[in-house]
């Protein structure tokens, strides 16, 4: 299991967390940076991030919008984590 997913809470607490606004993306990246640091040598799998988002944001957006956003950010987290693992 991945520890530190709570770092996403400051990003997810914003009503516009799922938008492509640069401020929202920055909060996502800063949270992910902390999570990666807390889990050295561990791939942050998409499914853990996706499930965390879905559980934290249940019923806050239209179902399709929430699922798409959770999948997008889960995949992004995994891709960045994979890059970090392979370039250290």
Q: What is the predicted pLDDT for the residue at 61?
A: 79
Asked if 74 contacts 47 with a C-beta cutoff of 8 angstroms, the reply is yes
Q: Which domain holds residue 60?
A: 5-86
As for how many domains the chain has, the answer is 1
Residues 6+ apart with CB under 8 A from 10: 27, 31
Task: Give 37-72 pLDDT, tens digit per residue.
Answer: 999 999 999 999 999 999 998 777 788 899 999 999
Sign of the Cα torsion 47, 44, 30, 3 reads: positive
Helix (H, G, I), strand (E, B) or coil at 14: coil
Task: Give 1-42 pLDDT, tens digit per residue.
Answer: 799 999 999 999 999 999 889 999 999 999 999 999 999 999
């Amino acid at each position: 299991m991945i520890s530190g997913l709570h770092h996403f809470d400051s990003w997810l607490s914003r009503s516009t967390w799922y938008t492509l606004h640069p401020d929202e993306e920055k909060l996502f990246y800063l949270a992910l940076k902390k999570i990666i640091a807390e889990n050295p040598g561990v791939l942050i799998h998409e499914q853990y991030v996706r499930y965390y988002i879905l559980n934290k944001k249940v019923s806050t957006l239209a179902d399709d919008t929430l699922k798409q956003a959770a999948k997008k950010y889960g995949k992004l987290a995994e891709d960045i984590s994979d890059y970090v693992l392979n370039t250290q």
